[in-house]
Amino acid sequence: MSGCFRIRTYGCQMNVHDSDKVSNLLYHHRWREAPGEEEADLLVINTCSIREKAENQLYSDLGALRSWKHAAPARVLGVGGCVAQQEGDALLRRFPHLDFVFGTHNLTRVPAMVEAARGGGREARTEESRSLARFELPERHPDYPGPTPGRAFVTVMEGCDMFCSFCIVPRTRGREISRPAAGILAEVEDLAGRGVREITLLGQTVNAYGRHAARRERSANAGTLPFAALLWRLAGTPGIERIRYTSPHPLFFDDELIAAHGELAALCPHVHLPAQSGSDRILARMRRRYGAADFLRIAAALRRARPDIALTTDLIVGFPGETEADFRATLELVREVRFTDAFSFKYSPRPGTPATEDAAGAVPPECAQERLVELQTLQRELTLAAHRARVGSRTEVLLEGPSRRGATQLMGRDPYHRVVNLDAAEAGLEPSAGAGRLVAVEIVEATPHSLIGAPAWLRGDSPPEPSLKAFGG
């Protein structure tokens, strides 16, 4: 064994998945996961720079980790992810106790960089690559348990060519690149063989999958398919019962993708569809390439295809130039779509992005804060109403593990991606043993953040159906 490692992960699901990929690579190089950071010989921080606060987290972590590093001379400390991509070498210069830095296209270099660090080397590798090689990763190591039994992320595309005026991602994740379908299908088959029942397809603009090759009529060479066709192919994989994808961009909802939501039973009735704003003026300044009416049209089409679909979103308040009327338009959009949930953020200027140049349009921080509170208050009401409407309904929950609500509770997600908690004993399961299982439940209570379920078959019914086919179509 080479030693024990831990990875601290910040940010989006892409980062969570990258940390998983790095863990697996390290297992292939005889590293094993440590029970905690105090026991670890290697610590990797996978960073996020989407907002200033996320980026600052790294600097405070690195300050605090000076004592971790110096407690044992052989310890190795590395930083990856979006801040690493942005800052590269500068991090090594600023933090002498940091051993290596790897960018978002350099995951496969980590084991070698760790070895070099053990020999006293210090390097930063942040080259951007346009090669498909980054999708060719080793299979899951037999000893690596993976993050969540029964569920897995699968990368289908990476990078972003949209260049929304507020967003750092095109600068930290590089250009859009789609993975050949054959590799995706093979990975999903392999996962299904290991008991995975739910896959989440990942990409910065996941439904733009294959679009560049399609536009140039080179899909066959690139090995890509239209996104909806990919979903259909994946749904044919025996054992895969749930398919999700995140995050799509409103611009790439074609008729086939919308229709798939009505026709593919395995495609979960939930779409996380970032709106960012409800004001056409602000959307134009954000360079989102759609207006509020386009967004509403997509939401309505998805609901026609799948009436019970749950829509969630991302919203930004206090974007430069946002007036009270613009903000009201966002509230209006939220009311009209009735999102089941929303992640809302105050605009945070990001280095090198065009929106930072609009200093004159800056919204005062107190005003942005007030808007955030008002928006979140509205969304809380809508979320609770959506939860209450579910009480008395039947659903199926893929268990993830113990719940935060207490030692005897299990948590999982229903097809709508809502958290459902249930009592382990009532479900006939050990709190530690249920992860990865699908259980049929009746929703018995709604809370602002989650649902509470009771096993449906304990309520005088037959045992659970193996899948949710009754909800399809």
Q: Using the minimum distance from each CB to ligand SF4, give the nearer residue, 169 or 298.
A: 169
If one asks whether residue 81 binds ligand 5AD (CB under 6 A), the answer comes out as no
Q: Using the minimum distance from each CB to ligand 5AD, give the nearer residue, 43 or 375.
A: 375
The residues binding ligand SF4 (CB under 6 A) are 160, 162-164, 167, 169-170, 204-205, 249
Interface pick for ligand 5AD out of 95, 100, 153, 166 (rule CB under 6 A): 166
Residues 449, 455, 456, 461, Cα dihedral to 10°: -170
Interface pick for ligand 5AD out of 49, 312, 330, 348 (rule CB under 6 A): 348
Hey, what are 327's tokens?
Answer: 């903000």
CB of 234 to ligand SF4, least distance (A): 23
> Is the distance from CB of 102 to CB of 93 less than 8 angstroms?
no
Q: For residue 247, is the peptide bond before it cis, meaning its omega torsion is within 30 degrees of 0?
A: yes
Which of 413, 247, 386 minimizes the C-alpha distance to 314?
247
Which of 230, 188, 241 minimizes the C-alpha distance to 470?
241
Interface pick for ligand 5AD out of 250, 274, 402, 412 (rule CB under 6 A): 274
Which partner, ligand 5AD, ligand SF4, none, binds residue 210 by CB below 5 to 8 Å per kind?
A: none
CB of 165 to ligand SF4, least distance (A): 9
Rule CB under 6 A: which of 35-74 touch ligand 5AD? 50-51
Q: Using the minimum distance from each CB to ligand 5AD, give the nearer residue, 85 or 237.
A: 85
Name the one range near ligand 5AD by CB under 6 A: 24-32, 92-100, 202-210, 340-348.
Answer: 340-348
Q: Using the minimum distance from each CB to ligand 5AD, give the nearer residue, 23 or 205.
A: 205
Q: Using the minimum distance from each CB to ligand SF4, give the nearer residue, 259 or 284.
A: 284
Closest-by-Cβ residue to ligand 5AD is 314
List the beta bridge partners of residue 212: none
If one asks whether residue 172 binds ligand 5AD (CB under 6 A), the answer comes out as no
CB of 107 to ligand SF4, least distance (A): 19
Which partner, ligand SF4, ligand 5AD, none, binds residue 51 by CB below 5 to 8 Å per kind?
A: ligand 5AD
Rule CB under 6 A: which of 409-448 touch ligand 5AD? none
Which partner, ligand 5AD, ligand SF4, none, binds residue 249 by CB below 5 to 8 Å per kind?
A: ligand SF4
Name the one range near ligand 5AD by CB under 6 A: 130-138, 172-180, 327-335, 345-353.
Answer: 345-353
List the beta bridge partners of residue 343: 314
For 375, the 3-state DSSP assignment is helix
Which of 213, 289, 285 minimizes the C-alpha distance to 250?
289
Q: Using the minimum distance from each CB to ligand 5AD, give the nearer residue, 48 or 435.
A: 48
Interface pick for ligand 5AD out of 242, 244, 350, 413 (rule CB under 6 A): 350
If one asks whether residue 276 binds ligand 5AD (CB under 6 A), the answer comes out as yes
Pairing of strands 270-272, 242-246: unpaired
Which partner, ligand 5AD, ligand SF4, none, binds residue 434 by CB below 5 to 8 Å per kind?
A: none
CA 392 to chain centre: 30
> Is the distance from CB of 137 to CB of 105 less than 8 angstroms?
no
> Is the distance from CB of 317 to CB of 368 less than 8 angstroms?
yes
Angle subtended by helix axes 227-235 and 255-263, to nearest 10: 20
The 3-state DSSP composition of the chain as helix, strand, coil percent (nearest 5) reads 40, 20, 40
Hey, what are 21's tokens?
Answer: 């990929």
Angle subtended by helix axes 365-390 and 324-337, to nearest 10: 10
Please provide the size of the chain in residues. 473
CA 402 to chain centre: 21
List the beta bridge partners of residue 438: 398
Interaction site with ligand 5AD (CB under 6 A):
50-51, 166-167, 274, 276, 314, 316, 345, 347-348, 350
